[in-house]
Each structure stands twice: as structure tokens, then as C-alpha cells.
Amino acid sequence: MGLFDFVKKRKEKPLSIGKKANILKSLSTEDTNQTIGYEKDRYKANQLIEMWVNADKSKKTIVVNDIEIEQYVPQFEKLIQSFWMNISEIDNKVQRFCIEKHEGSNQDLKNYIVELSWVSLAENLVELGYWGKYVNIELRAICKCKAEHWDIDEIYYQ
């Protein structure tokens, strides 16, 4: 199913969340066969924590799985490990936000797909910087940890 077919089908009948995710997963570009859309649970917490533990934290910017961690100081160790444990849930919420923005527009889905590029740390707060996977866009998500529960306080395209 091409993107035009998806848009046509979308206009015919509203989709449930489950069907929407399946259709978005099946969209692909003709030239690269890459999936465009919602990739649920694309980050594996255990792998990221292992990479984090083994990372050289003496540098100003620490890179874990192509994600740059900025402003790390040892007092944020518990915060960042808690973040890594919840990254899939947080990222899934970001992706759902992107899909909802796409559905309210008449633009190509590619204009809304983002990947996590950097993380900036502060006391009980993590700012996430996402860059467009296909087009030059930037999205920010401000996440806060309260009583060991993560939530996105603010999310917006730049």
C-alpha cells in the first residue's frame, strides 16, 4: 500500500489505534524499502544501560547508541539510568504525538517522523532532542521524573 492509498483509505473510514499502527508500519518508500511510521519499542533499555555503564563518562558529550548525552555530571547517574529504563515508553509517546500531528495535516508522513538525537540532563528533568528522519525538522520533549514515574511535560516541533 502506497502513501496515496493510505491517505485515500484514511479519508474513507477512521482507523482504530491498532489498525493505524499496523498501516503506518506497513508504509515503505519505494526507493529504500525502509519502514516509515510508528516503530514501537525501538530502544532496548537493557542494551542502552549496558552501553551507558561502559561509556567513557570523562568526556563532555557521551554517546550511547548514536544518542548524545549532554551536561552529564555524576549526580545525575540515578536519573539517567531511570531514563534508560523508561526510554521505550517515552519514545512511544513521542511517536504517537508525531502521528497525531500528521493526522491533523495534509502533509506527507515523512515530515513528522523523528529519531532521538540528543539528551540533556537537569535535576529530575531530561530534555530530548529529536531530528527528522527524512526531512530537516526538530522536535523537543521535556520529560520529568516524579516519584520514579516518567512523564512528558512538554512536546513541540521547533
Q: Is the pLDDT of residue 21 over 70?
A: no
The total of other beta-carbon atoms located within 10 Å of residue 144's CB is 15
Position 70 scores a pLDDT of 92
Cell 547508541 appears where? 65
Position 59 scores a pLDDT of 87
Can you give the length of the chain in residues?
158
d(CA 6, CA 14): 11
Tens of pLDDT, residue by residue over 71-113, are 899 999 999 999 999 999 999 999 999 999 999 899 999 999 9
Alpha-carbon radius of gyration of the chain: 17
d(CA 134, CA 13): 27
C-alpha cell at 5: 492509498
Q: Is the pLDDT of residue 33 over 50?
A: no
C-alpha cell at 11: 479519508
Position 146 scores a pLDDT of 86
Please give the helix or strand (H or E) that residue 30 lies within, else none.
none
Cell 540532563 appears where? 121
Of 146, 121, 119, give the one whose Cα is nearest residue 131. 119
Tens of pLDDT, residue by residue over 99-151, are 999 998 999 999 999 999 999 999 889 999 999 999 999 999 999 998 888 99
